[in-house]
Amino acid sequence: GESVGLHLPTLSVQEGDNSIINCAYSNSASDYFIWYKQESGKGPQFIIDIRSNMDKRQGQRVTVLLNKTVKHLSLQIAATQPGDSAVYFCAERDINAGGTSYGKLTFGQGTILTVHP
Name the site residues for other proteins (rule: CB under 8 A).
4, 32, 41-46, 49, 89, 91, 93, 98-100, 102-105, 107-110
Nearer to other proteins, 40 or 69 (CB): 40
Q: How far is the CB of 42 from other proteins (least distance, A)?
A: 6
Q: How far is the CB of 44 from other proteins (least distance, A)?
A: 5
Q: How far is the CB of 58 from other proteins (least distance, A)?
A: 18
The whole-angstrom separation of Cα 117 and Cα 17 is: 10
The whole-angstrom separation of Cα 102 and Cα 105 is: 9
> At a CB cut-off of 8 Å and minimum separation 6, what does 61 contact?
77, 78, 79
Nearer to other proteins, 14 or 40 (CB): 40
Q: From 72, 46, 51, 47, select the one nearest 62 (Cα to Cα).
A: 47
Nearer to other proteins, 33 or 80 (CB): 33
The whole-angstrom separation of Cα 5 and Cα 25 is: 6
